[in-house]
Structure 1
Amino acid sequence: MSITQQYLLDTYRAQQLGEPAPPAPGAHEWQVAREWRDYRQFLAVLAERPAHGRIRLARGRWLRPRSRSTC
């Protein structure tokens, strides 16, 4: 059974029982993505790492590696 079929079945059952319809599949995906991003930033702060710009800093280290001195 696909997600769409399950949603339609749940909607039909809710209508028959006089209950509110369930949220459509994918209705809260952006909210979940934002909460996941905020949680990752929170973990970064707890680990005393920069919470913003980590990808940019890592890309900069990869593109411009430090020259090693042979002293």
Structure 2
Amino acid sequence: MSITQQYLLDTYRARRLGEPAPPAPGAHDWQLVREMGGHREFRAALAGRPARGRLRTALSRRLFARRPRPGC
């Protein structure tokens, strides 16, 4: 049985029982991808490895921000 067939069967059962319809397949894929990236960074921090990616970029931008020169 394919994912689409299972979804249609679940939707049919939910409608007959008066329950809310399940989310469509693939509706939350990007949220899962973002959460996996956050989880990977969390595990790296627990293991003592340096941060990579967006977190490291944000931290370096904060720490090494250019300060405006006086008189310019």
| TM-score over 0.5 for the pair | yes
Partner residue, 1:50 = 50
Instruction: Output the amino acid matched with 1:36.
Output: M
Partner residue, 2:7 = 7
Partner residue, 1:16 = 16
User: Shift of the alpha carbon at 1:48?
Assistant: 1.4
Q: Please state whether the residue corresponding to 1:24 is helix, strand or coil.
A: coil
When the two structures are aligned, how many residues end up with a matched partner? 53
User: Shift of the alpha carbon at 1:46?
Assistant: 1.2
Q: Which runs of 5+ in 2 are unaligned?
A: 54-72
Matches within 5 A, 1:54-69: none
CA RMSD, Structure 1 to Structure 2 (Å): 0.9
Partner residue, 2:65 = none
Q: Which runs of 5+ in 1 are unaligned?
A: 54-71
State the Cα deviation string for residues 25-71 of structure 1 (Å, max 9, x = none). 01111111111110110111111111214xxxxxxxxxxxxxxxxxx
Partner residue, 1:66 = none
